[in-house]
A and B are shown apart, each in its own frame.
Chain A
Amino acid sequence: MKKIQIKELIEKIEGEAELDFTFRGGVIEDVRINFGFYRGIEEILQGKDAWDALVITPRVCGICNHAHLIAAVRAIEDGYRSAGITLTLSPKAQKLREFTLACELIQNHIKWLYMTIIPQLEAYLKIESEQNHAMKATYLSSTITRALAIFSGQWPHSSYAVPGGVTCDPTHLDLMQAEALIDESIRFFEQVVTGMSLEAYLSLTSVSQLHRVEADLGRLMHLIGSHGMAASGQSYDRFIVFGESMLSSSGKSIATAVSKVDPRYVEESVQEGTVAKAVSYKKRLYETGPLARGMVAKRPIIKSLHKRYKDAMLTRIFARVNEVGLLLAQSKRLLGEIVVDEPSCTLDMETRCVDFEGYGVVEAARGSLIHRTKVSEGLIKRYEIITPTQWNLSHGTEEEDGIAVHAMVGAKSIQEATFIFRTFDVCSVCTAQ
């Protein structure tokens, strides 16, 4: 059968990627994913003060910078502890970090839904839309990042998390203003995204109840289902989560069998033809991100979707939007639990720790983000960043195709394949760093 190769430039994915498709007999047989420019953040960090990572690493990525900050501060804290320093965060500092991180995830997921998935699906299905989807995205994302900035000072590119806690010292008034912004975001989720109350939405446990979802998410699922796309985009049905968060504990799930993970088995490898490095766990590739978190947490609605569609596009897309609802409910709860007169930062200013090695992991919007730092005489000797998109978007190892590649193989057109590609929430800058 005739083999055809086509190159396609994908844009508006936090940068660009070039996909080289190989078709045989009208279906995609292979895809090479090539991410652009290597900026060398890990090298830039060498020789800098250990704490400078709190300022430099958020600049890996304009859309998930806060996750980099949290991973960086955890890596330093882990290093301090392994060097023998006692460091216990106050519940207030922990909750503030969880809250601000949740805000960033919501911002990210909503932008992906309204600026990527809905417009791309409409373009693919040739549906003319009268709506300004981007306006919905920026309305919610600017509302939620304002709540974030009450504590972090700004978004993007805050450095308010420091070893031992956070730099802010909020008042009840600050908490109240943040809560009003979360309430506004919940109202948006109810009226614009799901067409139902948050409480009713979060009580959905089975595919058979999903017809109750209306508004934009209801319409999106209906379009995918009625065009026979729901079950396409399946990959290996293997999932991995390294961070502990409100959404999931760590673990891996092979189909539905969940077991423990040990980050020591994470391995990076250089790939030919792209600056992005591939990542594997015990030589096998895993999907990371919202679908992985839903599977490892054994969330009923995700398990129910998975039972019918496996790790196909409908399950993957739903899992990401679903996190918006979960995070909104949990961030409102967190605000209610913060005790303002607890200490914000427990690190004594006199504490010095200049030789250490630390590991920090965080659940970012696209999945597990890992930072490792090795510090000698106060200066960074080696810094390593493993981003979630390196898990999902590599072209693979010698043994197997990459996660997204495997999901695209079998697609009948470039349009179908690139839509599948975008269901992973592609971030070019994080992948290439």
Chain B
Amino acid sequence: MDQVQHSKPKLLWLQSITCNGNTHSFLNHPDLFSILSHFEVVHHPVLESDYTIADLTALKVPCDILILEGSFVEKGLTKNGVEVSQMIAHYGNEAAHIITAGTCATFGGIFKQKDPKHISGFCFDHEQQTKRYEQFASKLISLPGCPIHPRWLSYVLMMLSRGHDIALDTLHRPVELYGYTVHTGCTRNEYFEWKIDTKGYGLKEGCLFYEQGCQGPYTRGSCNKILWNDTSSKTRVGTPCFGCTEPYYPKNRLFVTRTNMGIPATMPLGVPRRAYLTLTGVVKSFKIKRFSQRLLEYDQ
């Protein structure tokens, strides 16, 4: 019988217009090197790897999985004299899978705002498909987040390495990661249920959805299920969710909730306004003492 040599998939991490936040977020993964041991890392922005940027620009580096970090621009961003868009097109064709790591690479993100006409995500511009979409859609996996969570990326990498199919939604996001909202698992959920807003920053009590701009109830992501740094999340430490995984991130006035007649203008994902108002009317008709008190007092 012939012995079939299964070589490891070749992983190429390519940066476009970025802050390197996704790179550094992934370095936080506690199992980083055991995950990477399933791959041959041909190029990475900070880890030692087989090929340099000069090699990459010669367009001769082998690539099975392409990780893209950073917003996309057709012209004006070069490495070693070669347009990055040209490198992405080349390695995107070579690769069996393309992962857009982060909101910049996926939808355009913060850096899109410098030049909204020319800067976008790789296959999406906000929610709209770019002209590259048709060509690359069959191999595209979107991992929005500013930055990505290290375990979101390792989930995708390990699924690919095992040859499993990854179920995706219409924007190519893995449903196991983005089927939830950031609200799911938030430690302030009880206050949300009873429509009790927080009385200020720096408190354990109260929900941030009503005044402080929290976008958790309508932002897709598992930040409160798969905790950050295996420890916490924005909302758990009293910071509002800024909707950093969403196609239109960043919106303006991130610490303020937009309201209509005193009710948040954007409803929790999929919830009809009428249903929300009905529920609000009911819970607000009760005054529950526990929710007006501090969770814990140290001086009693």
Contacts and interface: CB of A to CB of B under 8 A. Distances in A.
B21 A59 contact: yes
Nearest to A44: B113
B58 interface: no
A155 B255 CA distance: 19
B229 A52 contact: no
Contact of B201 (A36, A137, A162): A162
A50 to B, nearest CB: 10
A190 B127 CA distance: 50
Interface string B239-262: 100101000001011111000000
Contact of B200 (A119, A154, A345): A345
B253 A160 contact: no
B22 A59 contact: no
Contacts of A142: 27-30, 32, 229
Interface in B233-284: 233-239, 242, 244, 250, 252-256
A169 B298 CA distance: 13
Nearest to B256: A49
B135 interface: no
B203 A49 contact: no
Given A158-B239, A165-B202, A166-B202, A44 B114 contact: yes
Contacts of B250: 52, 55-56
A93 interface: yes
Interface in B108-124: 110-111, 113-115
Contacts of A168: 202, 237-239
Interface centre among A37, A60, A115, A151 (most CB of B within 10 A): A37
A156 B203 CA distance: 23
Contacts of B256: 49
B237 to A, nearest CB: 4
B113 A344 contact: no
Interface string A381-392: 000000000000
A137 B113 CA distance: 34
Nearest to A37: B77
Interface string B214-243: 000000000100001111111111110010
B200 A152 contact: no
B47 interface: yes
B19 A61 contact: yes
Contacts of A177: 231
B202 A156 contact: no
| Interface SS, B side | loop
B23 A62 contact: yes
B53 interface: yes
A156 B25 contact: yes
A341 B298 CA distance: 7
A155 B253 contact: no
A354 interface: no
Contact of A150 (B201, B232, B253): B232
A156 B28 CA distance: 9
Given A142-B29, A169-B204, A156 B147 contact: yes
Contact of A162 (B19, B20, B255): B255
Contacts of B231: 146, 149-150, 177
Nearest to A11: B53
A296 interface: no
Query: Which of A15, A93, A157, A340 has its CB near the most chain B CB atoms (within 10 A)?
Result: A157
Contacts of B203: 169, 344
A44 B233 CA distance: 26
Interface in B25-78: 25, 27-30, 32-33, 45-48, 52-54, 76-77
Chain B interface extent, by class: 35 or more
Contacts of A165: 201-202
Nearest to A164: B201
B24 A156 contact: yes
Contacts of B147: 62, 156-157
A138 B54 CA distance: 26
A145 B27 CA distance: 11
Interface residues of A, number: 70
A152 B298 contact: no
Contacts of A49: 252-256
Contact of A340 (B23, B33, B110, B298): B298
Contacts of A39: 17, 19, 111, 114
A398 to B, nearest CB: 28
B184 interface: no
A62 B53 contact: no
B52 A11 contact: yes
A39 B18 CA distance: 8
B21 A65 contact: yes
Interface string A206-241: 000000000000000000000000000000000000
Contact of B22 (A62, A154, A158): A62
Given A141-B27, A155-B28, A52 B252 contact: yes
Contact of A160 (B20, B238, B244): B238
B222 to A, nearest CB: 13
A113 interface: no
Nearest to B26: A138
B142 interface: no
B15 interface: yes
B161 interface: no
A61 B234 CA distance: 19
Interface in B189-225: 199-204, 211, 223
Interface in B85-142: 110-111, 113-115
Contact of B234 (A12, A154, A349): A154
Contact of B237 (A11, A141, A151): A151
Given A49-B252, A52-B253, A150-B232, A63 B20 contact: yes
Interface string A335-362: 0000011011101110000000000000
Contact of B33 (A63, A132, A348): A132
A41 B115 CA distance: 11
Please provide the 4 A-B residue pairs with the shortest distance between their CB atoms, ordered closest to farther: A344-B202, A345-B202, A62-B20, A154-B228
15 contacts: A14-B46, A15-B20, A39-B114, A52-B250, A59-B110, A65-B21, A134-B48, A142-B29, A146-B28, A148-B229, A155-B228, A156-B25, A158-B234, A164-B202, A345-B200
Given A43-B114, A55-B254, A61-B21, 19 more contacts: A16-B79, A39-B17, A63-B20, A115-B46, A146-B230, A154-B228, A158-B234, A160-B234, A160-B237, A164-B202, A166-B201, A167-B239, A168-B202, A168-B238, A168-B239, A169-B202, A169-B204, A344-B201, A349-B201
